[in-house]
Amino acid sequence: MFEATKPVLSAQVAVVTGAGRGIGAAIATALARLGAHVVLCGRTRATLEATSSNIHKFGGQSTVVETDVADLNSVESATRTIESKFGRVDILVNNAGIGVLSVPLHQLAPEDWDRIMNTNLRGVYYCIRSFAPLMIRGRSGHIINISSLAGKNALPNGAAYSASKWGLNGLTYSVAEELRSHNIRVSVICPGSIHTEFSPHAGKNADKMLQASDVAHAVEMIVTQGPQSFASEILLRPTQKP
């Protein structure tokens, strides 16, 4: 008699930051479909609850934990909550980020620079600092950082955003070497421009642009890879230029 197999991520706990909308919501939904219990982290409970509701509609599992990744106390509080409830973290997707402010660097306000860096780079540090010890204790885990092709290429009028993503890439490569001896695999995904309802790109053909689901699919590939290897970096581009 045929016996149904368990979902590939059954019994695993996945933390996704910026999970209330766009790319983060797509990633969280994909991981839930693979059987993980997804912890939805973000600053706005209403959008997190919307993602959670969509996950529960198909029988997936999720928990909402309000978190500001730019605030160390908030991240540490979330970590304590998750450790108390689940006792483990198997997957951490650092997705929360602030987009491009289209302005030359010499006109960028210092507070805007700080806001971008605190979320896009410092926030990832806070999350790895807080969650990696749980993975080390469990001798396994995936950390996936959502970067950008702007972390590979020049981005005029977006230097602060670009700098945060170049920094995120360097952080990822270094942390991967630090944690691989603990059987923790650290990867970075660098997509090009992505069309979402929250960040449309004027003048581009939305049908040809990358979609949030494309990034989610890349995350799926990483977390289902065989144990003997890992994809350290994925550069994601549309098939046709929009």
- 69's CB contacts (< 8 A; 6+ apart) are 17, 18, 41, 75, 94, 96, 119, 123, 124, 126, 127
**Given the residues 125, 126, 161, 173, the one annotated as active site:** 161
The pLDDT value recorded for residue 2 is 46
pLDDT tens sequence across 70-111 = 999 999 999 999 999 999 999 999 999 998 889 999 999 999
- DSSP result, 29-53: HHHHHTT-EEEEEES-HHHHHHHHH
Task: Give the integer Cα–Cα distance in Å for 177 and 103.
Answer: 35
Check residue 121 and report its DSSP letter. Answer: I
User: Looking at the domain assignment, is residue 110 inside a domain?
Assistant: yes
Q: Which amino acid is at 108?
A: L
Q: Which of the residue ranges 6-15, 118-127, 168-177 would you say has the lowest mean pLDDT?
A: 6-15
Mean pLDDT, range 146-167, rounded to an integer: 96
Q: Which three-class secondary structure state does DSSP give residue 105? A: helix
Inter-residue contact 8 to 226 (CB < 8 Å)? no
Residue 80: its H or E element:
helix 72-86
User: Which range of residues forms the domain containing residue 38?
Assistant: 13-236
Mean pLDDT, range 41-68, rounded to an integer: 98
Task: Give the integer Cα–Cα distance in Å for 102 and 191.
Answer: 19
pLDDT tens sequence across 183-214 = 999 999 999 989 776 555 666 777 788 999 99
- Pick the closest to residue 188 from 212, 227, 215, 214 (CA basis): 215
User: Looking at the domain assignment, is residue 2 inside a domain?
Assistant: no
User: Looking at the domain assignment, is residue 8 inside a domain?
Assistant: no
User: Looking at the domain assignment, is residue 87 inside a domain?
Assistant: yes
Task: Give the integer Cα–Cα distance in Å for 122 and 156.
Answer: 23
Q: How many domains, the chain? A: 1
| Higher per-residue pLDDT: 4 or 66 | 66
Whether residue 161 lies in the annotated active site: yes
User: Looking at the domain assignment, is residue 17 inside a domain?
Assistant: yes
Residue 3 has pLDDT above 60, yes or no: no
Mean pLDDT, range 1-29, rounded to an integer: 88
User: Looking at the domain assignment, is residue 118 inside a domain?
Assistant: yes
Residue 81: its H or E element:
helix 72-86
Q: Which three-class secondary structure state does DSSP give residue 182? A: helix
User: Looking at the domain assignment, is residue 156 inside a domain?
Assistant: yes
Angstrom CA distances, 60 to 1, 7, 32, 36, 38, stand at 26, 11, 5, 8, 9
Cα atoms in the 13 Å half-sphere on the side-chain side of 78? 29
Task: Give the integer Cα–Cα distance in Å for 65 and 34.
Answer: 21
The pLDDT value recorded for residue 44 is 97
Instruction: Say which CATH number the domain at 136 has.
Output: 3.40.50.720
